[in-house]
Amino acid sequence: MFDIWVGGKRQRLDPDKAIGKGGEADVYDLGNGKVLKVFKRPDHPDLQGQPEAQAAAVKRIAEHQQKLRAFPTGLPARVVAPEELALDAKGNVAGFTMRFLSGTEVLLRYTQQTFRQGIPASVVVQILKDMHMTVGAIHRAGVVIGDFNDLNVLVKDTEANFIDADSMQFGQYHCMVYTQRFVDPLLCDPNAKAPELVKPHNKESDWYAFAVMVMQTMLFVEPYGGTYKPKNATGQIPHTVRPLKRITVFNPDVRYPKPAIPYKVLPDDLLQFFLDTFEKDRRGVFPARLLEELRWTKCTSCGSDHARHVCPNCSTAAPEAVKARTVVRGQVEATRVFWTSGTILRADVHNGHVLWLYHENGAFKREGGVKVADGAIDPHIRYRLRQDSTIMAKGSMAVRLQSGTVKDKFDVDVLGQLPVLDTNDSHTYWTHGGVLYRDEKWGRERIGEVLAGQTMVWVGPKFGFGLYRAGQLTVTFIFNTEASGINDTVKTHPIRGKLIDATCVISDSRAWFLTSTQEGGKTVNRCSVIKEDGTLEASAEAEAGDGSWLSSIRGGCATRQAMLIPTDQGIIQVKADQGKISIVKEFPDTEPFVDSVSKLVVGSDGLYVVGSKEITRLVIK
């Protein structure tokens, strides 16, 4: 820890005041609507063992001594620009203050189907239109965004705010930082093994990145998503090379992701623009009219959403009309146990019984059709299920409902906009004021101390797992679900860069802790297997979207010694052995019943596949 001064006053970098952490800096709340962004120095714990990252930190801090003092004025209001410089003891620039944006979500969340439940496509179009205006205004001010990606756009209602302005490009200060999914391949080394920026960003590359974001938010797939399977196997290339070869999801040899929205729902002129941009290297300002004229509607016949004059789906029957109740495919018997015209919000298994919560016709309902509450879907509500009750939390308030009646209310800590709580067969667990609690018949039981506003916890049948990360502090811990005390000496894989997502699935003997981080321009997924005594059994890592079992971190479920993972090609089973995590079995006969965004839960009578509208029980012979 080092001293830092703002406006001549010393500022204490207290982990309790840390509100954000990226690959290059930590962010602290100063109060009064201001935050302090402090650049990571080479000796920062997050950079240990990473010589390239340490060298980049030295270079970045050296450049910022002049760049931040020359930062342009006149940028649009949506840009969260540096305000007052923060200095170290030697008078060197160590960071800066900026205004605090509360109640926001990164644009990345709007490319995730689970988050988008209940958010109309028309709202997303308004967000993109707001972004479009800001990009144009930034360019008119003589600035290039540079590393333009869905993590440096913060959305509040329909406003899109731009952060990380200190990395923007102007005058003599070029931005050579990039994110592989958004960098313009025309500026990259065409012979590299992955997009590698070799030319400075420009205004056209900003618009290229904007086009990528439009496609992802409209279709839930990036331009080079899907799986490339050329007819001639000798033409197979690594997934990371596809942008350099312009092999998009529109290529006939690319298997389109099952969870993504079929691109035929978009108007022809927008589809043509995507083809011209991503396959034919068209560049220029994204035509505003493509957003202005975009009108989403719901087909009155089949119920699907589309943005065309005529529904593209009505030539075939609706899926629910053609699926049989029970289907046998090879060694798999699949039985659809539930279907809704609404949306399934949550599914869990307690004591071997599958529980679920869904929203239909303006009401929240549990399995069996029992109404829990009236209201609309809100992406910021967190749901947890117990055998006899439903917990719904938003912000710092959680309520326990039973047969439509509020039985209890309690305060919880919030991480970002996520209420911190979880449940198992016996209890509800939550954090409040930096303390982890468990409910008991006589009230709440204190388990142990954590870091307020920075902690996330998950629980299994016998033990729970948690994480808090703020400033220069990262701690992972386990706790017994029926006792007091926390073991905070647990070691897992390193968490580097900007943490995008984290989850954990827990059996009675192991926790599978998974993270997704933005590092050096790419998204890296990691998994650690932790035994109930806190020892690390194995770990693995992969690039997101690379087609491996770890290309996604959500949807899996833990059995006693293994984890089952849904993919577009069927369910796979992985196990930890001698420090490594490997695929031990594949179930190709499950392919018709799952995709990569399904959630798996294990009941006493089979494996359940949970989608957005149906739940299917699989019995594998």
Number of C-beta neighbours around residue 84 at 10 A: 13
Same domain flag for 39 and 150: no
Q: According to the model, what pLDDT value does residue 273 have?
A: 97
Longest dimension (CA), the chain: 73
* Model pLDDT for residues 194-223, shown as the tens digit of each residue: 999 999 999 999 999 999 999 999 999 999
* Model pLDDT for residues 138-183, shown as the tens digit of each residue: 999 999 999 999 999 999 999 999 999 999 999 999 998 999 999 9
Across 237-317, where does the E strand assignment appear?
254-255, 297-298, 305-306
In this structure, is residue 159 part of a structural domain?
A: yes
Q: According to the model, what pLDDT value does residue 321 have?
A: 38
374 has a pLDDT exceeding 80: yes
Same domain flag for 8 and 90: yes
**Mean pLDDT in the chain?**
92
Question: Averaged over 24-38, what is the pLDDT?
Answer: 92
Give φ, ψ of 152 to 5 degrees: -105, 20
Contact 40, 47 (CB under 8 A): yes
Same domain flag for 91 and 146: no
Same domain flag for 282 and 308: yes
If pLDDT is split at 50, 70 and 90, which confidence band does 595 have? Answer: very high
Nearest residue to 519 via CA among 46, 73, 132: 46
* Model pLDDT for residues 344-356, shown as the tens digit of each residue: 999 999 888 999 9
For β-strands 443-449 and 421-423, DSSP reports them as: unpaired
Q: According to the model, what pLDDT value does residue 84 have?
A: 95
Nearest residue to 81 via CA among 63, 67, 60, 65: 67
Residue 14: give the domain boundaries: 1-100
Same domain flag for 45 and 161: no
If pLDDT is split at 50, 70 and 90, which confidence band does 15 have? Answer: confident
Contact 495, 469 (CB under 8 A): yes
309 has a pLDDT exceeding 90: no
In this structure, is residue 472 part of a structural domain?
A: no
If pLDDT is split at 50, 70 and 90, which confidence band does 331 have? Answer: very high
Same domain flag for 85 and 116: no
If pLDDT is split at 50, 70 and 90, which confidence band does 303 have? Answer: low
Q: Which of 276, 297, 316 is the last residue of a domain?
A: 316
The Cα 563–Cα 548 span in angstroms is 14
The Cα 183–Cα 148 span in angstroms is 8
Full DSSP string of 555-616:
S-EE-SSEEEEEETTEEEEEEEETBEEEEEEEEGGGGGG--TT-EEEEETTEEEEE-SSEEE
Q: Which of 252, 281, 316 is the last residue of a domain?
A: 316
C-alpha to C-alpha distances, 440 to 59, 413, 420, nearest whole angstrom: 54, 19, 18
Same domain flag for 40 and 171: no
Query: In this predicted structure, which of 8-17, 450-459, 608-617 has the lowest mean pLDDT?
Result: 8-17
Tokens of 58: 């030295």
If pLDDT is split at 50, 70 and 90, which confidence band does 403 have? Answer: confident
